[in-house]
């Protein structure tokens, strides 16, 4: 059996139509398959590889840390320099109130930790989330995602969860002194790039403050320069009580985090002690990689071109089959009439050496979330292929 057949046989599948491309190398904007075919990556491993694949500084940091030490002990006991350095660097780049970082293995685990923290800190049980939001696939994070189709098969779900409409001022009164936390993606990703209205997000912040509810912003997908600023919330002049990070946080390695004020985080330390336990969370190699990656993002000024590149995509992506394009920096959703049309374009692009995808809750939209290092030339080449794909749709 070849690798593809072994993959289908022995690597658990949750899709009946996996892409099953065998990638043998990735670097910067590109990947190569087993036949040597080159692909331009327009999805960055779903918003992970914001600085491109295998950034040399990240590779070096991983090699050095792997030679120094790897796993030592479960989270939070030993002083591990890569964790300390990354927590310091992150908090140096966050509002002063967000000064305590709990590192996890994944985005979903960060969501779980944050919900637990909110319950412990407030002594309340109700969790409010939003329709069309995505927060992960573990039982708890799945319970709060805002899409019935994706969560229904896993009932009973976490109790005392309400889903409100995004951008609805009227619904803010549902947040009360019973509510432990409100969790929102700053920019909804899987819904197909839906941004909140500025006034609404600010009113949400205010309502949380009034009711003593913790505001959790999930920037697992939209953080790390994706929108042109390091954090998406900066563009709205709000500061969350808990910030959730993942995906690009690890520079290509698995890493998540929930970040809060130290006074709030302290609620996890007694009655019972060890309020969140993780064996591998904050793995030293992942933290070393993440720190090197974030430094590359900042020092190489990768966010500088994001707005220009977004505009270029918007300018080039004009076609009668496109119903709408929604974007926040280099996070774009190109809306077509339905999933079959989208799938046809995606397949055409892959065949032509451009990797793109759809969104979980917006299967009719092409996902364009490239590494931030994409060049003008690469954007032009990619859009040409996307437009040719759109031409193949029969009218
Ligand atoms: N929140 C958001 C906004 C996400 O996009 C994702 C992943 N797509 C998650 C949480 C869950 O992260 P993970 O898959 O690492 O558990």
* Residue 80: strand, helix, or coil: coil
| Strand partners of residue 251 | 253
Scanning the chain, the segments in alpha helix (DSSP H) are 3-10, 44-47, 56-68, 81-92, 107-122, 139-144, 148-151, 198-211, 262-265, 284-299, 306-316, 339-351, 376-391
Average pLDDT for residues 222-250, to the nearest whole number? 98
Beta strand 161-164 with 362-368: parallel, antiparallel or unpaired? unpaired
* Residue 129: strand, helix, or coil: strand
CA of 108 relative to ligand 1 center, distance in Å: 6
Q: Are residues 48 and 90 in the same domain?
A: no
Q: Are residues 61 and 146 in the same domain?
A: yes
The predicted pLDDT at position 301 comes to 97
Confidence grade of residue 395 (pLDDT, cut at 50, 70, 90): low
Q: Are residues 65 and 167 in the same domain?
A: yes
Final residue belonging to a domain, choices 244, 279, 299: 299
Q: Is the dihedral of CA 291, 296, 302, 303 positive or negative?
A: positive
Beta strand 179-185 with 214-218: parallel, antiparallel or unpaired? parallel
Lowest mean pLDDT among 6-15, 99-108, 184-193: 6-15
CA of 231 relative to ligand 1 center, distance in Å: 16
Q: Are residues 86 and 130 in the same domain?
A: yes
Q: Is the dihedral of CA 309, 310, 316, 321 positive or negative?
A: positive
| Strand partners of residue 32 | 25, 38
Final residue belonging to a domain, choices 271, 299, 327: 299
CA of 141 relative to ligand 1 center, distance in Å: 9
Residue 109 CA, closest ligand 1 atom number: 16
For residue 177, pLDDT beyond 70:
yes
Q: Are residues 286 and 263 in the same domain?
A: yes
Look at the chain and report how many structural domains it folds into.
Answer: 2
Q: Are residues 165 and 116 in the same domain?
A: yes
Range of the domain at 47: 3-55+301-391
Q: Are residues 37 and 112 in the same domain?
A: no
Q: Are residues 289 and 309 in the same domain?
A: no
Q: Are residues 150 and 186 in the same domain?
A: yes
CA distance linking residue 282 with residue 74, whole number of Å:
9
Nearest Cα residue to 116 out of 144, 97, 79:
144
- The residues lining ligand 1, judged by C-beta closer than 6 Å to any ligand atom, are 46, 106-108, 111, 134-136, 185, 189, 218, 220-221, 246, 256
Final residue belonging to a domain, choices 250, 284, 299: 299
Q: Are residues 382 and 277 in the same domain?
A: no
**Residue 85 maps to which CATH number?**
3.40.640.10
The predicted pLDDT at position 394 comes to 77
């Amino acid at each position: 059996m070849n690798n593809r057949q072994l993959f289908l046989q022995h690597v658990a599948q949750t899709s009946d139509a996996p892409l099953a491309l065998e990638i043998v190398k990735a670097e910067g904007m590109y990947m190569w398959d087993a036949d040597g075919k080159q692909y331009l990556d327009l999805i960055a491993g779903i918003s992970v590889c914001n600085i491109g694949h295998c950034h040399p500084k990240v590779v070096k940091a991983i090699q050095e840390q792997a030679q120094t030490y790897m796993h030592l002990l479960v989270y939070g006991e030993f002083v591990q320099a890569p964790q300390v350095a990354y927590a310091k660097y992150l908090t140096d780049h966050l509002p002063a109130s967000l000064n305590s970082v709990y590192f996890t293995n994944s985005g979903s685990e960060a969501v779980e930790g944050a919900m637990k923290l909110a319950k412990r800190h407030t002594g309340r049980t109700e969790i409010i989330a939003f329709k069309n939001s995505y927060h992960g696939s573990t039982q708890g994070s799945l319970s709060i995602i805002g899409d019935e189709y994706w969560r229904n098969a896993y009932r009973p779900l976490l109790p005392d969860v309400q889903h409100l409409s995004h951008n609805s001022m009227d619904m803010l009164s549902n947040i009360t002194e019973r509510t432990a936390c409100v969790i929102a993606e700053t920019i909804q990703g899987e819904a197909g790039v839906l941004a909140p209205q500025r006034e609404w997000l600010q009113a949400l912040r205010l309502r949380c403050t009034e009711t003593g509810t913790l505001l959790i912003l999930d920037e697992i997908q939209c953080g790390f320069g994706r929108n042109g600023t390091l954090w998406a919330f900066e563009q709205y002049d709000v500061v969350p009580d808990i910030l959730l990070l993942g995906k690009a946080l690890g520079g290509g390695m698995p890493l998540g985090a929930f970040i809060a004020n130290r006074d709030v985080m302290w609620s996890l330390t007694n009655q019972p002690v060890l309020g969140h336990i993780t064996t591998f969370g904050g793995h030293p190699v992942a933290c070393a990689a993440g720190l090197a990656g974030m430094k590359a993002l900042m020092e190489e000024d990768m966010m500088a071109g994001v707005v220009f590149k977004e505009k270029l995509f918007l300018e080039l992506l004009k076609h009668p089959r496109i119903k709408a394009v929604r974007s926040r920096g280099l996070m774009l959703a190109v809306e077509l009439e339905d999933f079959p049309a989208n799938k046809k374009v995606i397949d055409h692009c892959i065949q032509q050496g451009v990797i793109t995808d759809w969104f979980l809750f917006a299967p009719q939209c092409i996902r364009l979330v490239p590494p931030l290092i994409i060049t003008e030339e690469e954007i032009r080449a990619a859009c040409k292929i996307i437009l040719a794909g759109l031409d193949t749709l029969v009218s």
